[in-house]
Every structure is written in structure tokens, then in C-alpha cells.
Amino acid sequence: MAGTKSPHKGSNALLRISFGWVGLVFLAVVWQLAAIGINKTIFPSFTTSIIAALHLATSSILLSDILPSIERTILGFFISAVIGISAGVIIGHYEVARKWSGTVVDFLRSLPTPLLVPIAVVIFGLNGRMVIATIVTAAIWPILINTANGTSSIESTMLDTAKTYGLRGRSLFLRVVLPAASPQIFAGLRVALSVSLVVMVVAEMLGGGSGIGYYISNAQQSFNIKGSYGGVIILGAMGWMFDTLFLMLEGRILSWQRGTVGGMANA
Amino acid sequence: MTKEITTIGPEEQRSKTLLKPSRHKLGLVRPLGGVIVALLLWEVVSVTGIVNKTALPTPPATLIAIVRNLGGLGSAVLGTLEAWALGIVIASVTGIAVGTLVGRSRIADAATETLVRMMRPLPSLALIPIAILVAGLGLKMTSGLVSFAAFWPIFINTRSGVRQVDNRFLDSANALGLRGFELIRRVVIPASAPMIASGIQVAISLALVVTVSVELVGGTGGLGQFVLLAQQGNATSTMFAGVIIGGTLGWALNTAYLAVINRIMPWRTQGDRN
Amino acid sequence: MLDSVLTIKHLEVSIKSRDGLVNEVTRDVSLDLGKHEFVSVVGPSGCGKTTLLRTASGLRMPSGGEVLFEGKLITDVPQGISIVFQEYNKSLFPWLTIAKNVAMGAREYSSAEREKRVEAALGQVGLKGFATRYPWELSGGMQQRAALARAMVSNPRVLMMDEPFASVDALTRNHLEDVVQKLWTDSNFSALMVTHDVGEAVYLSDRVFVLSARPSTILAEIKVDLPRPRSQIETRKMLRFVELQAEVLERVEEAGRQSVGIENYD
């Protein structure tokens, strides 16, 4: 592990990474210019919105709304990951389980989750637990399905090999099935992470009692325009942060995979 | 090869269904059995009151509510479908067009990296309040938001599909004298079609989520408003009726789309075997 | 006859396919493997060689007949049998380094003992400096040598090989054959190899069994009375080698279908 250097590290990397931001800067400039021509009360400029966002992030909103949202997202995502991976491994490994659960899973994951928010409100009330429960009902599916597909498509030679070396039951799952399916599991986790964020926002808007989604929709209803734009920017930053942290973690855990997949179609 | 610059993977949902279509009569028994088991479980949970009884009506009560509200549900479904369809069409056209242009140019590709990374997980739903401010309530606003949300998976998948078109295809197309738009239309897009199709598949579910959310938050009709009104009227079985119909709608859209795609592109699932 | 380590008696294997059809792969195959003997099974492609090996090793249960390992009925892969598969890229775990892959074969030892054994096994196959590499960093031939090291690390009594050299180029294949030959000469295990490569079977084996097309039975058993140690150049130009190879080939052709791999020897 130590001896292998990533082939594309070097002075070029920094340039490439910074170049990656060009599109974002471009969008900001367009926004700024457009704001000049449009009614400022409903469309504040980019700089105004960024300042509003910074203001939010350093005010009491940080503790009352931003951090709770982060906490709910992470918790919901984590619960989904635990349930999704365990159920997915079982469904993927045993064809019987796949056949029995197929239709039910297909139906449940087709359910547009926001419709569940009113039900969750009736069951849990207007609070963070409701938000977490709603996140789980949505984020679990990409994880479960990717895990099941990853598990069921493990090469039979690989399973044979594991069996010849005496791996059975739990150690077979932990040492062969999970690692072999991990690239697909991680792809599912990444989708689930953005799903968690999406659902967190809508659940909070509809009855979170607090949180960034709650803040944004309140700001809109009380005509705090700058506040709602600032909130959206904070959400964007949150999404970017989650995604970046996730990719770092994935890169670390799947480092063995670097040379095995050239194209990404089979990732 | 080009992977070093880009960390954005395509939406990983190539094979979204658990069950491969089965040509067997016996193949239906177990899936249906699973449904029955799930319904029984639901019945048991709601009758025993493990979950708050008022919050969870029994399956028969839900069925009755569906039958009673057939008219209301029908027009709600139509309302949702209209906004959904408009959004999907706009998103597909723009997503494929922009994705192709960006995917063909290495510079544009690299330049949009962070933008895409930030927009992809940005919950477009957060824009609902802003969209209400800017565009007001209505079909235009709903479809605008839906197409914004659905644009990203289509764009991202088109972009990486186009980027991965095998050089040998491009070489032979060049040798045949295909250039410019002709090259894109006849080689690049067909070669990346499976990826684009997966992007649209993701977009279809996402668009439904956004449509329903806008209806819930903005009260702009459709299934979202139907469920919201039922909740406000404390009619939990009606609320469940809306949810079940919503699930059925999502399931039907996805299944229909897959059936069409598998017919147009029978080779699409080939990659799944490895 | 030497006392036998592995005995296959009237083996019968049928596979039920997804659409419910029963496919008879093997019908009545009997063979035995003596102590420190090298036996190969050849046959036209698709004749069920791999299924035979999987059943012989305990990975699959027979539909009829039985497999005895050291006198005991096999119901699962027993300790003492190691397998090398054709597809090294699917049998080496890509998430483990070469050393850790090899260590998989020595899980029953203490960690100090395991380390020693892994080092020795890597040395035996000439992969000393590659312990910390990942499989994808190695060439195909080296990966298959790593798979061999993993199979050897537990000192098996029987080494089974399923087309072990079919996925590498011809020169590497010759080299790998000699690696296997040397391992076999230096240790005390018995080897059972299935292959479609007639020359390879004759070159390495004491006896060669020819399998018929599906549902397979044993068509012929040919004793290879070539002197050991064998060498790629010297042995292969012996008249006896050429005769034996022709004899096996004739029986394989007889097996009905045109087999793959013969084009290497025209």
C-alpha cells in the first residue's frame, strides 16, 4: 500500500483542481450581472447572497438550524447505510430473498418520499426524529439496491476460492462478499447521501420545527429574501462538503481498486 | 484514462430493478407472495397498535379510501403527471444537449467540475421558496423546478457517456467522413445512449419527488396537495390512499420506462453481467 | 498401484438450469489419484471438466456416486485440498496485497508461522519482492504464480488445478508448467489437473484421462511413461512424447466435438 504512488499526483493536480472551479466562478459572474437588471428585492446579487450566507453561518442560526440539519442528515444517512447494506447483502446473496422481496422493494423505492412526510408528522410530531425517519425511508433504497446488485454479481470463482480457504458464514460475508461488492455499495452510498440532503430539506420545510430547510421556508414566508438565498447557498456548501468528505473516505477505503477499473462503466 | 481529473461518477443506477423479468409462470408466485406477506405485516402492525393507531390505517381501510376518492385521486394524478412530464421533457432536451457539448470538450468538461459537484447534491427542493418568490405558484414554477432537478442526472450521465465513447468508434466515423453535428447525431449520441438512458431513469424518479414536494410545500394541486389536505383534515386513511397511489404511479412510470428502453436498446443490460 | 489419496467412484452430476431444465453434465466418471501422482483430465471444451473438478473438491455435491478423500466421503472442501482456478483475476482478491492473498491459504496457522510460510511460498514461485503489491500491479503469469503460492502455503495433500495456464501466453505457459513441475517434484502432494491442452497434460502427468463429450464418461486412460525430470525442450522432442500426445489427441478427437486448443500443436 505504501509503495504505490498515485500516478497523477504532481504540480498538474493543483492546476486541474483550481481549473475545476472556473464553471462555478462563471455562474457567479452571470448571477451578479443578471441581478443588476432584475428586481433586487426578489433577486439579490451573488455577493449580497454570499454575505447573507456568511452572516447566517456565524450567527445563532448556526446552532439552532444549520448544525441540527447536519446532524439529522448524517444520522439518517448512517441508519440507512446500516439497514441498507445488511438487507442488501442478504437479498443479493440469497436468490430466494431476492424473489420474495423484489416487488415490495420495487414498490417502496418508487414511492415519492415527500408524500410520507405528512404521515411521519402524524407519527412523530414536528421534530428532528420525523426528519430522520423520512430520510431513512428514502436513502435506504439506493444503498440496498446497489448492495444487492453488487453482492449478486460477485464472480462465482471468487466465492469458490473463498470456500476452498474455509471462509464460511460471517467471515465469508465480512472478508469476501462485502469487499467484493464495496465499489457498488459506495456508489449507492454516494447517491443516498445526496438523497438524504434532499429529503432533509423538504421534511424540514414541511414540519421540522427547526433546521436549515425550516429556516429557508420561514425566511421566504416573512419576505426575508436575502435570508432565503443565503440559506440556499449554505445548503449548496453543505452538499459540496458532504460529497467531498465522502469521496475522501471512499478513496481511502477503495484504494485497492485504483488499478482495476479503467473505465467507470463497471464501477 | 481521463478519470484523473474527474471524480464525478455517473449515477450508479444502471440496473435499478431487483427482479430480472421472468418468462416463467412460476416466477410470479414468490414476488406476489412477498406482497401478500408485506400486506399481512402491515395489517398486523396496524391492528395490534404497535404504531399509533390513528396514524396507521389497516390495508382494507386504505383500499376503501382509494375507492371512495377515485375521482379526487384521478385528477390529482393527472395534475402531478402534467407538471412531471413537462419537467422531464425540458430536462431531457437541455440535459442531453448541454451534456454532449460539455462532454465533447475537455476544457468545458474540466471547467464545470466543481459546479457539477456542488449542484448535484444541492437539493433543488431548497429552491422551492425562491421559485415561489420569483415565479409565483403554478404549473410554470413547478415544471421549472422539476426540470432543474431532473437536468442534473441527465446532464451528468450524458457528459460521462459522451466522454467514454470508444476512440475506435470516433476513428472509424472520421474515416467515413462524419463530421460535426452529423458525427454527434450518428455516432456520439447512439454510443452513449445506454448511459443517457440511465440518467433519464434516475431523473424520472427524482422529478416525481420534486413535483410532489412542490405540491406539498406550495399547495399547487396534484397528489402532494391531496395528501396534505387529507392530513389537515385528519383523514389518515385518505392520506394513505394518496401515498399508495403515489407509490403505484412511481412504480408504473419506472416500469414503463424500463420496458420501453429495453425494447429500444436490448443491448443496454449487457454490461450488467460483469 | 500406490494407495490412493482421492477416489472418484461412478460420479454423476446434473445441473438444474434457471428455466428448470435438468442438464446432465457428467455420467459415470471413475478415477483415482495415487500418492504423489500427477493426473490430468482432458476433453473437448464444454465436456464438464470444470464441473468434475468442482465436484471432486467438494465445492459441488454430486447427483450420484461419491468422492473419497483419504478414505473419507467429501461433503465440503476438506483441509488438505487446494484449488487453483483458471481465472486468476477472479480468484485473487483484488482488495488484498499479494502477501495477504497468500496468507488466506494459511489461516489456520499462528500469525508468526503464517508469515514464515507466506514468505517461503512466495519464494518458491519466484515472487519474493512482490509481497506488498496488489494483484493488478502484476502480470497475468505472476498473478497465477501468486495463486499457486496461495494454494501451496498450507502444504496441501492434493492440489487441484482447473485450466491453470489457459489465460496466459504460450511462453509464460511453458514457464508456469515448469514452476508447477518443480513444486510437485520438491513436495509430496498429488496433483489433479483438468485442461484442454493435450501437450501440457502429457508433459506434466503420470496418467492422462480422456473425457467424452457431455454427458461425460471416461473414454480412455493413458499412462505417460516419460522419464522425469522433464524439460520443455528435451522431453517435447522425444519420439515417445510425440506418440503419447498423438494418442491422447486421437482419443480427444474421438470424443466427438472439435476441441479448442489443439491448434497449438499442429
Write the pLDDT tens digit of every residue in A76-94: 999 999 999 999 999 888 8
> In which domain, by residue range, is C36 found?
4-79+159-164+190-265
Instruction: Give the residue among C103, C89, C111 at the shortest CA–CA distance from C132.
Output: C103
The β-bridge relationship of strands C81-84 and C158-162 is: parallel
In a domain, C185, yes or no: no
Q: A264 pLDDT exceeds 60?
A: no
- Domain count across chain B: 1
CATH number at residue A205: 1.10.3720.10
Provide, as residue numbers in chain B, all residues whose Cβ is less than 8 Å from the Cβ of A126: none
Mean pLDDT, chain C, as a whole number?
A: 86
In a domain, B234, yes or no: yes
How is the beta sheet containing C22-34 ordered, strand by strand? Answer: C22-34, C4-16, C64-69, C72-73
In a domain, B30, yes or no: no
**CA–CA separation, B56 and B46 (whole Å):** 6
CATH number at residue B201: 1.10.3720.10
**Runs of H (alpha helix) within C26-139:** 49-57, 88-91, 98-103, 111-124
Pick among C82, C93, C139 to test the A interface (most A CBs inside 10 A): C93
In a domain, A106, yes or no: yes
- Residue A21 exposed, middle or buried by CB count within 10 Å (0-12, 13-18, 19+): middle
Residue of chain A with shortest Cα separation from C77? A164
In a domain, C38, yes or no: yes
**Runs of H (alpha helix) within B49-69:** 59-68
Residues C29 and C92 in one domain: no
In a domain, A4, yes or no: no
Question: Could you tell me which residues come within 8 angstroms of residue B178 by beta carbon, excluding any fewer than 6 positions away?
Answer: B186, B187
- Domain count across chain A: 1
Give the pLDDT confidence score for residue B268 in this predicted structure. Answer: 61
Q: How far is B192 from chain A (nearest CA, A)?
A: 11
Among residues 96-115 of chain C, which lie with CB inside 8 Å of chain A? Answer: 96-97, 104-105, 107-108
The mean pLDDT value for C75-86 works out to 87
C27 - beta bridge partners?
none
Residues C64 and C118 in one domain: no
In a domain, B103, yes or no: yes
Q: How far is C105 from chain A (nearest CA, A)?
A: 6
Query: Could you give the ipTM of this predicted complex?
Result: 0.76
In a domain, B218, yes or no: yes
- Domain count across chain C: 2
In a domain, B185, yes or no: yes
In a domain, A262, yes or no: no
Inter-helix orientation angle A128-152/A116-124, to 10°: 130
Question: Could you tell me which residues come within 8 angstroms of residue C10 by beta carbon, excluding any fewer than 6 positions away?
Answer: C28, C29, C30, C64, C65, C66
Give the pLDDT confidence score for residue A5 in this predicted structure. Answer: 39
Under 8 Å between Cβ of A97 and A90: yes
Neighbours of A75 (CB within 10 A): 17
Residues C207 and C259 in one domain: yes
- Percent pLDDT > 70 in chain A is 86
The β-bridge relationship of strands C72-73 and C218-223 is: unpaired
> In which domain, by residue range, is A234 found?
63-253
Digit-coded pLDDT (tens) for C15-72: 877 667 788 888 888 999 999 999 999 988 777 888 898 899 888 889 888 999 998 8
SS3 C42: strand
Residues C85 and C142 in one domain: yes
Residues C43 and C95 in one domain: no
**Tens digits of pLDDT across chain B (274 residues):** 333 333 334 444 333 445 444 444 455 666 778 888 888 888 888 777 777 666 778 888 888 888 888 888 888 899 899 999 999 999 999 999 988 888 887 777 777 777 776 666 555 666 777 777 666 677 777 888 888 888 988 988 888 888 877 777 777 777 777 777 777 777 788 888 888 888 898 889 888 988 898 888 877 888 988 988 888 888 888 888 898 999 999 999 988 998 888 888 776 654 433 2
Distance of CA A245 to the CA centre of its chain: 11
Give the pLDDT confidence score for residue A50 in this predicted structure. Answer: 84
The β-bridge relationship of strands C81-84 and C207-211 is: unpaired
Question: Could you tell me which residues come within 8 angstroms of residue C25 by beta carbon, excluding any fewer than 6 positions away?
Answer: C13, C14, C15, C48, C51, C214, C215, C216
In a domain, B28, yes or no: no
In a domain, C201, yes or no: yes
Digit-coded pLDDT (tens) for A218-252: 888 888 888 888 888 888 888 888 888 988 888 88
Digit-coded pLDDT (tens) for A156-208: 888 888 888 888 888 888 888 998 888 889 888 988 898 898 889 889 988 87
In a domain, C256, yes or no: yes
Query: Measured between alpha carbons, how far is residue C22 from residues A252, C19, C93 in Å?
Result: 46, 9, 33
More confident position, B171 or C190: C190
> In which domain, by residue range, is B211 found?
60-269
Q: How far is B4 from chain C (nearest CA, A)?
A: 18
Give the pLDDT confidence score for residue A149 in this predicted structure. Answer: 87
In a domain, A8, yes or no: no
Q: Which among C57, C96, C136 has the least Cβ separation from residue A164?
A: C57
